[in-house]
Amino acid sequence: MRKLLRFLTDYKRECVLAPLFKMLEASFELLVPLVMAAIIDTGIKNGDKPYIIKMSLVVIALGVIGLVCSITAQYFSAKAAVGFATKVRHALFKHIESLDYSTLDKLGTSTLITRMTSDINQAQSGVNMVLRLFLRSPFIVLGAMIMAFTVDAGAAVTFVVTIPLLSIVVFGVMGVSIPLYKRVQTALDTVLKRTRENLTGIRVIRAFALEEQEIESFNKENKDYTDLSMHVGRISALTNPVTYVIINLATVYLIYVGALKVNTGTLTQGEVVALVNYMSQILVELIKFANFIVTVNKALASGNRIQTVFEVQPTFARGDIGGDLTLDGSRMLNTDASDYAIEFSSVGLAYQEGGDEALSNIDFKVKKGETLGIIGGTGSGKTSIVNLIPRFYDATTGKVTVFGANVTDYKLESLRESIGVVPQKSVLFTGSIADNLRWGNKDASEAELNEALSKAQAKEFVDEKEGGLSYMVEQGGRNLSGGQRQRLCIARALVKKPKILILDDSSSALDFATDLKLRTALKELDKDMTTIIVSQRTSSIKHSDKIIVMDDGEISAIGTHEELLETSDIYKEIHESQFKGA
């Protein structure tokens, strides 16, 4: 949590003024019992009404000034806390965006969402409370003890005994509860993960009639979270009753001692009331401080969880090489460095904590302008291969080369600017169709957008939509069919005009006729553009210059469609299963 305080550097003034005004409020509050003692010992005792009225106005003035100071402190503390949370949220999101796939897989989506939302909110509340109460409450407690000594040193000894006892209770609860609050937030991660999975896979759950099973699983995880929250809540709840007992016993003793001293004439009635008021102030402040401790405990636990994400670094560094920019100053890679667009040399890949290698001994070359098809069974490693080209993952062994240079030597931004990827899952964002297409090229003209839509076989249905390119896409593209989403994602990649185009099973939702038109259109693209098509259909890749057949993370065969029908049993089996009787 301490390392997160760097995000408060722009709010130094607020961090000084908020506690300062709280201290001023506390100072005026400490004067009130002395004024009340004066009213009792002088005004009421002597029946001096003008004096009583005058001192009552003083009490009101102290209250008004204290209120103004309190409101001012609240303003500055809220401004600093909200600004702190905003900066942390921006920085955390930026850091998460910089993490590679391997690291994101390891951390998990649900915990990152929790830390971006719940944990940052807890940290914000903690900062707000610290600025308001961290100095005020101890100041009131110590100030009340000092003021009590100015009234009567003998009676004030009660304060000397009471305050350490209360400190032991407060900090003891704090020491026990901080680790427990970390576990509470982790349990919240689990509940959020289960909720997210259910909302994402609700159709699958209903298709298999597993609603009751999922409800039972959720209830169990929710109960674990509830039980843990109640356990730490009970521990934190001990603070109030224990402090009340200590304070009230101290107050009873103080009144008893005060009564004896009043009888002997060494203490006035007003001074006894002042001492009781100071004890009451300590009680109120310690109740506030107990709540403050609970909030700060949560904030510390959440802050530490946020900091652990900041401390996670990508598994690979962002390198750079000379010749990164071409002569015209574009961000594309220099494609003249080699005749081969892509080369894999003895490449192996093992995912973090994934056990055996997902890829082993992958060797192949693709010339510029060629079309490469990749086919194989589920889990054979097709997507793993294409993920190594834009460096979503790094090869654990061997070397992946793009245009004559190792992908690890390129600046990531430049490498990915030259590669267009259409992943298996079609993802569109909230906004117009034009906005989504311009993710590939923010400066693309409407004519370029329409051209890409035509090649992706998407122009017909886009023109039918109300507003055409201005048609608003809902979150995740849920107001579009699966095939429409896939075609828009392909068009988005084409708008980019990449040097390497990767289509990762991106036509699975298309019918055969549309798929054929799409492949025909892709053939007419830039002759220098290298295309990689990953598919489960042999019809989608049969016209490729080269086809790789994958089996259990290894290359089973390489050749053209006709060659593989003769030499590869796996390819022949896939083809015949799709075209049997055709």
Per residue in 167-218, pLDDT (tens digit) is 788 778 777 877 787 788 788 888 888 888 888 788 888 888 889 999 999 9
What is the CATH class of 316-418+501-510+536-582?
Answer: alpha beta
Residue 478: the pLDDT is 83
Encode pLDDT of 221-246 as tens digits: 999 999 998 988 888 788 778 877 88
Residue 329: the pLDDT is 39
DSSP 8-state assignment for residue 118: I
CA contacts within 13 A on the Cβ side of 323:
10
DSSP 8-state assignment for residue 323: T
Q: Please, what's the b/e burial string for 135-146 (b: 16 or more CB within 10 A of its CB; e: otherwise)?
A: bbbebbbebbbe
Pairing of strands 397-402, 340-349: antiparallel
What strands lie across the sheet with 371-376, from one edge to the other?
419-422, 500-504, 530-534, 371-376, 546-551, 554-559
- Asked if residue 393 lies in contact with residue 412, where contact means CB atoms within 8 angstroms, the answer is no
Residue 88: the pLDDT is 94
Where do the domains of the chain lie? 2-311, 316-418+501-510+536-582
Residue 363: the pLDDT is 93
Residue 332: the pLDDT is 57
CA distance 20 to 25: 9
CATH topology of domain 2-311: ABC transporter transmembrane region fold (1.20.1560)
DSSP 8-state assignment for residue 42: I
- Backbone angles phi and psi of 497, in degrees to 5: 50, 60
Full pLDDT tens readout for the chain, 582 residues? 678 888 998 999 999 999 999 989 888 888 888 888 888 888 888 888 888 899 889 999 998 998 999 999 999 999 999 999 999 999 999 999 888 888 887 887 878 888 898 889 999 999 998 998 888 888 888 888 888 888 888 777 888 888 788 778 877 877 787 778 778 878 888 888 888 888 878 888 888 888 999 999 999 999 999 999 898 888 878 877 887 788 788 888 888 888 888 888 788 888 888 888 888 887 778 777 777 877 887 888 888 889 989 988 876 655 444 444 333 334 556 666 678 899 999 999 988 766 678 899 999 999 988 889 999 888 888 989 999 998 888 888 999 999 888 888 888 888 888 898 988 888 888 899 999 999 878 888 999 999 889 988 888 888 888 888 899 998 888 888 888 888 899 899 989 888 899 998 877 777 778 878 887 887 777 677 899 999 888 888 888 889 999 998 899 999 999 999 988 899 998 888 877 655
Q: How many CB atoms lie within 10 A of CB 123?
A: 29
Residue 333: the pLDDT is 62
CA distance 519 to 262: 102
Mean pLDDT of the chain: 85
Residue 522: the pLDDT is 77
pTM given for the model: 0.72
